[in-house]
Amino acid sequence: MKILVTGGLGFIGSHTVVELQNKGYEVVIIDNCSNSSADVLDRITKITGIKPLFEQFDLREKNKVQDFFNRHNDVSGVIHFAASKAVGESVENPLLYYENNLSTLVYLLQQLSSKSSAHFIFSSSCTVYGQADELPITENAPVKAAESPYGNTKQIGEEIIRDTCKVTSDLNAISLRYFNPIGAHPSSEIGELPIGVPQNLIPYITQTAIGLREQLSVFGDDYPTSDGTCIRDYIHVVDLAKAHVVALQRLLEHKNVSNYEVFNVGTGTGSTVLEVIQSFEKMSNQKLNYKIVGRREGDITAAYADTTKANNELGWQAKSSLDDSLGSAWKWEQKVRS
Rounded to whole angstroms, the Cα distance separating 12 from 266 reads: 14
End-to-end CA distance of the chain: 38
On whether the CB atoms of residues 318 and 266 are closer than 8 A, the answer is: yes
Name the nearest CA neighbour of 254 among 138, 169, 135, 127.
169
Set 25, 129, 150, 204: catalytic member = 150
Rounded to whole angstroms, the Cα distance separating 72 from 119 reads: 15
Between vectors from CA 123 to CA 121 and to CA 125, what angle results, nearest 5°? Answer: 135
Name the nearest CA neighbour of 246 among 148, 335, 336, 317.
317
Rounded to whole angstroms, the Cα distance separating 20 from 200 reads: 26
Rounded to whole angstroms, the Cα distance separating 144 from 146 reads: 6
3-state DSSP call for residue 211?
A: coil
How do 216-219 and 290-293 pair as beta strands?
A: parallel
Residue type, 221: D
Active site includes 107? Answer: no
Contacts of residue 136, Cβ cutoff 8 Å, sequence gap at least 6: 268, 270, 304, 305, 306
Rounded to whole angstroms, the Cα distance separating 110 from 263 reads: 24
- Residue 94 CB-density burial (10 A; 0-12 exposed, 13-18 middle, 19+ buried): middle
On whether the CB atoms of residues 282 and 322 are closer than 8 A, the answer is: no
Contacts of residue 308, Cβ cutoff 8 Å, sequence gap at least 6: 138
Between vectors from CA 137 to CA 167 and to CA 216, what angle results, nearest 5°? Answer: 110
Active site residues: 150
